[in-house]
Structure 1
Amino acid sequence: MFSGAGAIFEEQFGLPAIVGSLFMAAITIASVTLNVQKIIGLISAVTPFLLVMVILIAGYSLLHFDPSAINIDSGVAKASPAASNWMLEALLYVSYNIAAGVAMITVIGGTVKDQKVAGWGGIIGGLGLGLLILLINISMLTQIENISGVAMPMISLANEIHPVIGFIMALVLIGMIYNTAVAMLYAFSARVVKPEKSSFKSFTILFGIIAFIASFVGFVKLVGTVYPVTGYLGFLLIAAIIVSWFLYKSRSSKVYV
């Protein structure tokens, strides 16, 4: 997330990537001291803006899509595949999204006492995320030659509509990156040290600094390395969740019997 912020600052605002990474690291570390409910509120406030921008970009991309002029093979050839075939890549993409979000999903789910509410929240949220990812991929596929090699393709597509739209999209993505970074840092720190302990802030600062140093690797390289690895680890997580669910159902049925 810190590296992604650096990429936005560099590509959209013409500033050194380290400025964006440092800015994001600073506000993320400072924000983790906030209440979890406030963090959830921040996430829900920014998401609708992202959905509106993605719908706008997807609509524009489709309207200006010329199938005869696009060369998907040429655009794909410039990219480094995460796996040996498209099916495994698709599964890795799904697995990554689950693995990356599970830390905050667990925190959010823990604040909801009604299982039905939590269940419907998961279903609606999953469908919303699926729609968002579908629109983003459609937008990129229609302009794949133009965005190959770009760190932030959605901002590049937004700039094609108008520089102001590109600027707004950059701000929205910074907001989403901020929310994700805060959620991940909080969830990771809370797994190591309980939030109510006095040492929680010290560990949060330490983990934040380590993440900031790791961002020097570069956004594109991190995405190409971390995402596939997280996807493979996500397979284990998904399997554990499925097994846990069946065991829970089995125990519940025995109690009722």
Structure 2
Amino acid sequence: MGCYYDSDSHQDVLEQVAHPIITKIIDYTLIVSGFIIFFVMIAGAGANLHQQFDFPNWLGALVCALLVIIVSFMDFDKITSVLGIFTPIIIVMIVAITAYTYIGHSYDWNNIYRVAGELPAPMPKVIFSAINYYSLCAVTGVSMAFVLGGSVVRIGVAEKGGAIGGALIGVIVLCAYGALLANVESISNAEIPMLAIVASINPVFAHIYTFTIFALIFNTAFSLSYALAKRLSGNDNKKLHIILITVVVAGYLCSFAGFKKLVSLMYPVLGYIGILLLGVLLVAWIREKQNIMKEKMLRRKMIAVEKKKYDEDQEYTLKDKKLFKKLAEESVLDASDIKQEVKDVVKEEQDNN
């Protein structure tokens, strides 16, 4: 949806797919929830370093907050490329942790289920917890997903990226759940349970895992703060940085409430909000499915026509120029905008070849 509407923030999509009242409710909710999850992440950065290295919580949180501010002044495309490096690393680590947990080990599952059942739960049923957590993930990532989608011209690329990302999240959550369940007796009181498991496996591995988790927490914190600042500032870069710094400072102050307490209190509430958001997006996707497919084919044709300019074996004719203009006028986007974006994409691809 972000790619289809060429969005700069979640508001650009919501204004197109939902009733104005619903749009305002979700918009304000995403702004508030984005800020809440942001300062929970800042608190998590402090808890992460405190649990492994016994650093003061405020110090780890401060380092993460300062990194968010510093990185926000760098090139956006380069930032997203660097941040993406840590995703495959954590996938490999979590799969390795899960494999180590089960290979060559046996467990008293009756006792494990008994201990797990005694832990305080925000939801009365497992299925409700699963739906709530899935919705929470949607709230966490949707604003930045719309921004990233809006930076892509090819709808097919956005679709594949979303599908692969969703599948990877499913694998990570499943593996993490398996490892946490098997070790529930020893980690039930830890602020970051997975880190407690890793520390019991190997101290060196625990150090590596700690820094990887810190990088992912920073990744999430940066994405949330950037998307929030982008929404509030529009296209004014100077205003964006001022708002982002304000958000980071406020989030850092709020993080002193404590990571574990914040998670148990705020995450279930945000999950309910996510259910409303997912419902709106699902209805919008069903309604716009045919139009999205039409726009997808249209952009493919525009890219194919533009590529003729760089192909020595093909001639770019007046007919091609007229076709390119006609396709741009049929696009859901502003004709001049889509023409420029297609030209930029094709030129960048040719320069990289």
**TM-score grouping bracket, smaller chain normalisation:** over 0.9
Superposition map of 1:197-212 within 5 A: 197-212=237-252
What is the DSSP-based 3-state SS (H/G/I as helix, E as strand, rest coil) of the residue aligned with 2:84? helix
Counterpart of 1:196?
236
1:73-152 paired onto structure 2 within 5 Å: 73-77=113-117, 79-152=119-192
1:231 alignment partner in structure 2: 271
* Counterpart for residue 198 of structure 2: 158
Question: CA 1:72–1:188 in structure 2 vs 1: closer, same or farther (change >3 Å)?
Answer: same
> What residue ranges of structure 1 are gaps of 5+ in the alignment?
none
Matches within 5 A, 1:16-95: 16-63=56-103, 65-68=105-108, 71-77=111-117, 79-95=119-135
Unpaired segments of 5 or more residues in structure 2? 1-40, 296-329, 331-353
Give the match for residue 186 of structure 1.
Answer: 226
**TM-superposed deviation, 1:108:** 1.4
**Contact between 1:70 and 1:143, CA under 8 Å: does it hold in 2?**
no
| Contact 2:116 2:181 (8 Å CA) reproduced | no
Per-residue CA distance 1:87-144 (angstroms, 9 max, x = gap):
1111001111111111111111112211111111111111011001111111101111
- 1:245 — aligned with what? 285
Shift of residue 214, structure 1, vs aligned partner? 1.1
| Alignment pair present for 1:217 and 2:283 | no
Partners of 1:77 and 1:113 lie apart in 2 by 48
Determine helix, strand or coil for the equivalent of 2:191: coil
User: SS in structure 2 opposite 1:198?
Assistant: helix
Aligned residue identity for 2:134: V
Equivalent AA in structure 1 for residue 279 of structure 2 = A
Question: Structure 1 pair 131/198, CA: closer, same or farther in 2 (3 Å)?
Answer: same
Which of structures 1 and 2 has the bigger CA Rg?
A: 2
| Shift in CA distance, 62/245, structure 1 to aligned 2, threshold 3 Å | same
Question: Comparing both chains, which one has the higher relative contact order based on Cα–Cα distances under 8 Å and sequence gaps of 6 or more?
Answer: 1
The answer to whether the Cα contact below 8 Å between 1:39 and 1:183 also exists between their aligned partners in 2 is: no
CA distance in 2, matches of 1:27, 1:74: 42
1:177-222 residue CA offsets vs partner (Å, 9 max, x unmatched): 1111111100001110125342221111111111111111100011
Deviating runs (4+, > 3 A) in structure 1? 249-256
Which of 179, 191, 210 is matched with 1:170 structurally?
210
Number of equivalences: 256
Amino acid corresponding to residue 163 of structure 1 in structure 2: P
Shift of 1:228: 0.7
Describe the shift of the 1:73–1:210 C-alpha distance in structure 2 as closer, same or farther (beyond 3 A): same
**In 2, Cα distance between equivalents of 1:233 and 1:79:** 24
Give the aligned partner of residue 346 of structure 2.
none
Write the distance in 1 (CA, Å) between the matches of 2:47 and 2:145: 26
Query: Please, what TM-score do these two structures have when normalized by structure 1?
Result: 0.93
CA distance in 1: counterparts of 2:92 and 2:231, whole angstroms: 34
CA distance in 2, matches of 1:169, 1:251: 44
Cα drift, residue 176 of structure 1: 0.4
SS in 2 for 1:199: helix
C-alpha contact (below 8 Å) 1:40/1:108 kept by paired residues = no
Report the identity percentage. 30
In structure 2, how many angstroms separate the alpha carbons of the residues matched to 1:175 and 1:251?
38
Change (3 A) 1:129 1:113: same
Aligned amino acid, residue 34 of structure 1: M
Deviates most, 192-201 or 105-114: 192-201
Q: Of the candidates 3, 7, 11, which is equivalent to residue 51 of structure 2?
A: 11
Distance (Å, rounded) in 1 between the aligned partners of 2:249 and 2:218: 15
- 1:82 counterpart letter in structure 2: P
- SS of the aligned residue for 1:133 comes to helix
Name the counterpart of 2:26: none
Larger deviation: 69-78 or 212-221? Answer: 69-78
